[in-house]
Amino acid sequence: MSTAPATPLSDDEVQSIRRDFPILQSKVNGHPLAYLDSGATSQRPFAVLDAEREFASTMNSAVHRGAHTLAAEATELFEDARARVARFIGARDDEIVWTSNATEAINLVAYSMSNASLGRGGADAEPVRLREGDEIVTTEMEHHANLIPWQELAARTGATLEVIPLDDHGALRLDVAAQLITDRTKLLAVTHVSNVLGVINPVAELIALARSRGALVLLDACQSAPHLPLDVKALDVDFAVLSGHKMLGPTGIGALYGRRELLQVMPPFLTGGSMITTVTTTEAAYLPPPQRFEAGTQRVSQAIALAAAIDYLDGIGMARIAAHEAAFGARLVEGLGAIDGVRVLGAGIGLPRVGLASFDVDGIHSHDLGQFLDDLGIAVRVGHHCAQPLHRRLGITSSTRASTYLYTTDDEIDAVIAGVSGAIDFFRRGA
């Protein structure tokens, strides 16, 4: 098998891709839109917009209910979408649970473990049961969605939450991780790619540490699944979560990957219709996974649109998208870091990264900088990016984040670098 690096997208290919995205033809404040906020929400191509519209226009119906033609067609498309997500990340079809987003997916795991800890699921649920004295390990760079659910789970079960710290450059302290992950560790929950720093974490080493201690592993793949080739089996994780709106899909759809043997013993999180076999007035019996975790009316059109997004990404090639963005990540770090007064967070440590960079500008609040860039038609993210502990560790309260995707151009990278430089000149003159 060839190990040659993938070829980044050419300028002509990027321009062709951009024509598939109607919003990228827009102007903002009289300037062509330079969309550098894909780390928050990506844009959608015609193929995705059309897939959702086509379903709503011609096949709209509930799934797994009814025997009429529309219901059968909707169910087939819904389950085909599940299969496409599974193939995209190297999983089995029955290991994909639909959720509203990655936040719900993480909470599903946390609340299922909590229910198991209350005795639900019986002896079979022992692999996901927590007791007082058990430990959950996460990191100092996590999005709040991969931190707060574990805080709550620890509070409900008597377990202890341990946090792997960062060094002064924003890299995870693997030496400390080796001390924190012990025989008492029940779960390691770690982000694959930091949504603030853009670094690709050394998850293989962390997973190996967890496995050596018999711990389960949950991977936050929100910032990796859209940008990197991802194989959950090769990584040997027990759970992984992703959000459709970060990978060319619609909002309101996400997915949980769960190792089959774990999903089979986990008690449900949400209960109600569509996830049961029999119900009496005093008890219920539940369907096998993944339907056990999919109570109520499902996100059918969104799932179908997410499958269309995955087809679009596969058509281009995830390795090529990763190469395209890695080049932009390096350019952002180099270009922004060369500006006097700009501190790029996590830069200069030689770690692999995606096309994302967050930075702090001396003397300019991130919200003011974001407004200045918006006046130029440049969309970036400002604030703490749902990662307050990380910002606190780095000694700041907020930052500005530029994040790229397959449709980003060299001119847009130049624009944001020039825009930051112009903002510094503007605010210094005002001072």
Catalytic residues: 386
* Residue written as token pair 């930075």: 359
Phi, psi values for residue 350, rounded to 5°:
70, 20
Cα–Cα distance for residue pair 412/24, rounded to 1 Å: 12
Q: What CA–CA distance (Å, rounded) separates 74 from 72? A: 5
Tokens of 292: 């056990």
Q: Strand, helix or coil at 35?
A: strand
Structure-block tokens of residue 427: 């605010």
**Number of H helices and number of E strands within the chain?**
14, 17
**Helix H or strand E encompassing 116:** helix 102-117
| 135-139 vs 342-344, strand pairing mode | unpaired
Q: What are phi and psi of 380, to 5 degrees?
A: -130, 170
- Cα(328)–Cα(382) distance, integer angstroms: 19
| Residue 3 burial by Cβ neighbours in a 10 Å radius (0-12, 13-18, 19+) | exposed
CA 188 to chain centre: 17
Backbone φ and ψ for 190, nearest 5 degrees, come out as: -140, 145
Listed residue (352, 342, 337, 336) closest to 36, CA to CA: 336
Among the listed residues 332, 326, 324, the one whose alpha carbon sits nearest the alpha carbon of residue 400: 332
